[in-house]
Amino acid sequence: METTEQLITRLAAQARPVRRLRPPMVRAVLWLVGMGGVGGVAIALFSNLDVTIGRLSEPLLLAELIGILGTAIGAVIAAFYLSVPGRSSRWGLVPIPFFVLWMASSGDNCYQDWLVHGTDGWALGESFACFRFILMTGVPIALSLLLILRRAHPLAPIRVAAIAGLGVAAMAAFLLQFFHTFDITFLDLAVHLAAGAMVAAGSALVGLSRRRGGFMPPARPM
């Protein structure tokens, strides 16, 4: 049976130089800039940018975009901070005001649509295409983010992966706005949320699998 003294001697003998992680904010900004570049190219090449820019004159849509982008950036930054030991858990609160703004403006948008169109406001618009879009963009973005977060071997992997998942879902929803140039219905919003929740839950599951020796290895030596 190894004593604590023996363990210390063994660990000290194994001490090799390590490459320090850069501060969480630097890592988060680098990742966001990289993703922003890829997303910007995709928007420039494939989206209906003129229509989207025209729609920005609607204050409600502008508020929604700020909410979505704020949620994405806030949650990604929070995930980088929470992945490192000793950082305040209050970082997890950063995306919440933006998330509330997103939900409120989106919900109000649906409500206005419902007032104008009546029961048609509950109809399913282009929801399935949006659902597919969020999942297809969300999954590769989530994988790249989780791979980078994995370097910190987070002590609370489920929490980190879940908040990262929220950021990714918001990022996919933000990109969707450039390809989704019409007002959404309540059902559309529900489908968007379901797709986002699937991305976030999938990410949390990745965090969980870390405990079982899966995608994210445990902090203890294997």
Partner 1 sequence: MAAGKDIHDSERDKVWSRLMAAAQTGDQHAYARLLHDVVPYVRAIIRSHHRTADRIEDIVQDVLLTVHRVRHTYDPSRPFVPWIAAIARRRSIDGLRRWRRTDMAELFDQQAYETFADPRAKRESETSDRVAGLGDAIAALPAKQRQAVEMLKLREMSLAEASGKSGKSIAALKVNVHRAIKALRARLGKEVR
Q: Is 11 in the site for partner 1 (CB under 8 A)?
A: yes
Report the distance separating Cα 222 and Cα 217, nearest Å: 8
Compute CA distances 135 → 53, 87, 131, 163, whole Å: 25, 31, 6, 17
Amino acid letter for position 176: L
Least Å distance, CB 207 to partner 1, is 14
Token pair of 187, please? Answer: 């059902």
Confirm if 185 and 107 have CB atoms less than 8 A apart: no
Question: Which of 50, 59, 115, 220 is the binder for partner 1 (CB under 8 A)?
Answer: 220
Instruction: Look at the block and give the residue holding tokens 């305040």.
Output: 88
Nearer to partner 1, 91 or 99 (CB): 91
The residue range among 19-27, 33-41, 42-50, 130-138 that interacts with partner 1, by the rule CB under 8 A, is: 19-27
Q: Is 38 in the site for partner 1 (CB under 8 A)?
A: no
Q: Is 17 in the site for partner 1 (CB under 8 A)?
A: yes
Helix (H) or strand (E) holding 163: helix 157-177
Confirm if 216 and 153 have CB atoms less than 8 A apart: yes
Question: Which of 32, 134, 152, 164 is the binder for partner 1 (CB under 8 A)?
Answer: 152
- What residues contact 10, with CB distance under 8 A and at least 6 apart? 2
- Pattern 87-116, partner 1, x by CB under 8 A: x-----------------------------
Q: Is 147 in the site for partner 1 (CB under 8 A)?
A: no
Question: Which of 156, 182, 194, 197 is the binder for partner 1 (CB under 8 A)?
Answer: 156
Nearer to partner 1, 124 or 219 (CB): 219
Total of chain residues touching partner 1, rule CB under 8 A: 34
Quickly list DSSP for 83-102.
TSTTS-GGGGGTTHHHHHHH
Question: Which of 45, 115, 119, 212 is the binder for partner 1 (CB under 8 A)?
Answer: 212
Q: Cα 161 from chain centroid?
A: 9
- Residues at the site binding partner 1, with contacts judged by CB under 8 A: 1-2, 4, 7-21, 23, 84-87, 152-153, 155-156, 212-213, 218-222
